[in-house]
Structure 1
């Protein structure tokens, strides 16, 4: 064995397995020890199956033992994630593995096939050990359900880990897994990354194809990667990205386009920074201060920063209409059959889709088209200065008490629903642009705060380069 630890980068862990400095079984044991130490309190990993994980690690070692024969480089024939322990988000179907979606209706559900994201991660050689906890049907940015309970923040276990990929972010930050997958509709990759002090990317629409879906033409939610640093995130994105014939809206760039190393520079970068998009939403004072402080990181590294923002006034109606329509289409019949088996906030959101007309949905898609055009023109400088990236808060609040379903007020201003405090994330969702959460600072109580960096649609590699340069300049790179 080496002096490798569960807190080492995923790239170092994968390289150590490929070079046979550590076996997949030994690496799994290290992670199982950390899970045994921290998971009983944090509740991030669910449906843990040590026996199957050990069998998977043994198979990974056996596969590596045959690689490199016939003169090939040792480890050259195995996947990019070979031997890395992995726990899939509990909304992603894994063949033969309990997948509950955080719902009592699926508490014993075992899929018979992998979905595409899982297929790609398994194909890259990862060793499955379990699932990561989610809110019920991934609805809401706080991870709790009646099947497994609440996931707690690894920095302060009295606080929320965020959601819906809260189990993933918590497990990652606590060293229980080296990489994590997730999905993002209203901020579900970005919000928990901010709350737990890790990195989460909502890719461009079409970057990470999904299959199967009830509607391949509905593109509000996307799958994507999380990691403790941008370089590791690029490693996982290189596995998840790339076209697939089953996903007609997939972008054509191959996954290797995003593979590390990721090197970027902030010198000459044109940054638009806005704490609240011109008063579009309320932001906690401490969060606002941390996001504002990111300006000095950019300028200190040679970027120019302007107080500027696009007009995203259509985003609230667009997102809420499409979300309600999507939820009603996907869960309406299930709610009608089991009205007492849904949390109230989700049931209300599903029912909000019932009175929607074709004209309502058409309006929302027209607005979404306009928002995409607004972002294109903003970055291109059609009616003013051009900008390379937009910077704003990931979440409008720091991690809130875990016994609350959602923040009920920000700076004394009441929040009417469980969506109100997520505008800083879901306003970006409906633009289709890639957005990444990168650790930026902490509150006075030491709670993590991420900054959200947004780039033009399709420029995911560029966004990774900016994020890598930012985390280095800010001094927040983690193993």
Structure 2
């Protein structure tokens, strides 16, 4: 049987379209790869029966082509709803629950011809950038099985890094598409807020911190999936028009001017080697003719953190308060969820409004930075992948972390302003673990960021040079 494990999704799509490859052959290759490595990493969960998947693949081979994903296997992140598959959010509160319908972006992926084979693992309720939960267990980093895969799209990133999937979806509130991409040597894209609408959310007006997006081993696949997931929906206000990033992805017309935010003027503690590895990547970019300059006029990191933690906690509390108040369910909630709910419930209306004001000020400040730089660069994480048995890092370089998510502070600037950010592989540290760079752009610069990522990929191809170890 031919192995298609590490081939790009667009190449697989072209071969299926031309008849060089059948969906059934691809499905057999996919299932063989999953059987070979998934027990070690625990990335794909709720896998559908092989007989059903092969039957669906054979039906695809006999059916008219529905879209570029026709016959391509894909697994959906556990935080999203995919009809007939687990819908637990990794929590015992919802153990055994099955989705009755697709979320909007999942329906779009299915309509483009994808065969949904199962789900990808995520942290409980998506809280914390470490993919472990009491329902499905821990997802392991394929470069070191004793380390974290990141999160919350950790299962998706590992499935890509190990060749079990060619393309995957994820979601990002606090770096969940960027941190695991960096830790698994793949690409992740947090789109401009509103580009991928969430028609199934309880609230579609206030909740503007999280968004769904694509992950892949190549920027072209990233662009293709973003084009499928994006587009307005009449049920969602503020949604942006469909993205069309793929056709022009090779057309980067001028070198990007990169503003290096580094450790935010010393405000963000970094583990040894993170900045050095990222700066080596930036050195390569400079050698490619891309100007890199340090950004010195920085917005207050303390203000950003205050705004972020208040708005995040308030939104989480409003969504999950009923579980907290139920004496039968509260013991089932993870410590991070309790922290978010109690913090959110303690906030006054004045504090919430002030947090939104800080957010507005930061957006305006970022807009001014983009007058000097085309993109802003930050590491995808402040630490290397940590011990998978830990809940979260408690200190960085001697600095104690005062919350479960303080070590993820580096991803807040893009999230708080709703800005697009692509995570590109930056290379490996001295112990062989990967890290990435966030390249952050102004609103609606998604296609431009993907052009930058594509040019970087052609010059470096980190996912191809250093495939996952398992």
TM-score range, shorter chain: over 0.9
Report the Cα offset of residue 309 of structure 1: 5.0
Alignment of 1:36-55 (within 5 A): 36-50=35-49, 51-55=51-55
1:271 paired to 2:258: yes
SS at match of 1:324: helix
Report the Cα offset of residue 7 of structure 1: 0.5
Distance 1:279 1:368 in 2: 21
Q: Give the aligned partner of residue 315 of structure 2.
A: 326
Distance 1:34 1:4, change over 3 A: closer
Distance 1:4 1:149, change over 3 A: closer
Distance 1:54 1:361 in 2: 51
Distance 1:128 1:303 in 2: 40
Distance 1:146 1:4, change over 3 A: closer
Q: Deviations over 1:407-427 (max 9, x none)?
A: 111112221221111011122
Q: 2:361 aligns with which of 350, 354, 370?
A: 370
1:359 paired to 2:384: no
| Structure 2 contact 198–236 (Cα < 8 Å) conserved | yes
1:228 paired to 2:217: yes
Report the Cα offset of residue 61 of structure 1: 1.4
Distance 2:252 2:384 in 1: 29
| Structure 2 contact 306–355 (Cα < 8 Å) conserved | yes
Deviates more, 1:314-323 or 1:264-273: 264-273
Distance 1:310 1:176, change over 3 A: farther
Distance 1:266 1:451 in 2: 22
Distance 1:242 1:351 in 2: 36
Distance 1:111 1:192, change over 3 A: same
SS at match of 1:340: helix
Q: 2:423 aligns with which of 437, 454, 465?
A: 437
Distance 1:412 1:266 in 2: 44
Q: Give the aligned partner of residue 298 of structure 1.
A: 285
Distance 1:116 1:134 in 2: 19
SS at match of 1:451: strand
Q: Deviations over 1:385-420 (max 9, x none)?
A: x11111111100111110111111111222122111
Alignment of 1:152-163 (within 5 A): 152-163=140-151
Distance 1:449 1:414, change over 3 A: same
| Structure 2 contact 192–419 (Cα < 8 Å) conserved | yes
Q: Give the aligned partner of residue 72 of structure 1.
A: none
Q: Deviations over 1:99-142 (max 9, x none)?
A: 21101111111121111011110011000110001111111100
Q: Deviations over 1:243-263 (max 9, x none)?
A: 1112212112x23x1124621
| Structure 2 contact 199–233 (Cα < 8 Å) conserved | no
Give the TM-score normalised by the residue count of structure 1: 0.93
Distance 2:449 2:59 in 1: 36
Q: Give the aligned partner of residue 11 of structure 1.
A: 10
Q: Give the aligned partner of residue 403 of structure 1.
A: 389
Q: Give the aligned partner of residue 58 of structure 2.
A: 58
Q: Give the aligned partner of residue 87 of structure 1.
A: 75
Report the Cα offset of residue 285 of structure 1: 2.0
SS at match of 1:352: helix
Q: Give the aligned partner of residue 71 of structure 1.
A: none
Report the Cα offset of residue 94 of structure 1: 1.0
Q: Give the aligned partner of residue 74 of structure 1.
A: none
SS at match of 2:436: strand
Distance 2:461 2:124 in 1: 36
1:454 paired to 2:445: no
Q: Give the aligned partner of residue 90 of structure 2.
A: 102
Distance 1:184 1:407, change over 3 A: same
1:240 paired to 2:239: no
State the superposition RMSD in angstroms.
1.6
Q: Give the aligned partner of residue 198 of structure 2.
A: 210
Q: 2:333 aligns with which of 316, 325, 342?
A: 342
TM superposition outliers: structure 1 runs of 4+ over 3 Å: 264-268
Q: Alignment length, in residue pairs?
A: 459
Distance 1:366 1:28 in 2: 50
Distance 1:158 1:354, change over 3 A: same
Alignment of 1:373-384 (within 5 A): 373-380=364-371
Report the Cα offset of residue 280 of structure 1: 2.4
Give the TM-score normalised by the residue count of structure 2: 0.95
SS at match of 1:35: helix
Report the Cα offset of residue 8 of structure 1: 0.7
SS at match of 1:207: coil
| Structure 2 contact 186–463 (Cα < 8 Å) conserved | no
Q: 2:246 aligns with which of 251, 259, 267?
A: 259
Q: 1:142 aligns with which of 102, 124, 130?
A: 130
Q: Deviations over 1:69-115 (max 9, x none)?
A: xxxxxxxx521111110100001111122221101111111121111
Report the Cα offset of residue 332 of structure 1: 1.0
Distance 1:293 1:34 in 2: 34
Distance 2:38 2:177 in 1: 20
Q: Give the aligned partner of residue 34 of structure 2.
A: 35
Q: Give the aligned partner of residue 25 of structure 1.
A: 24
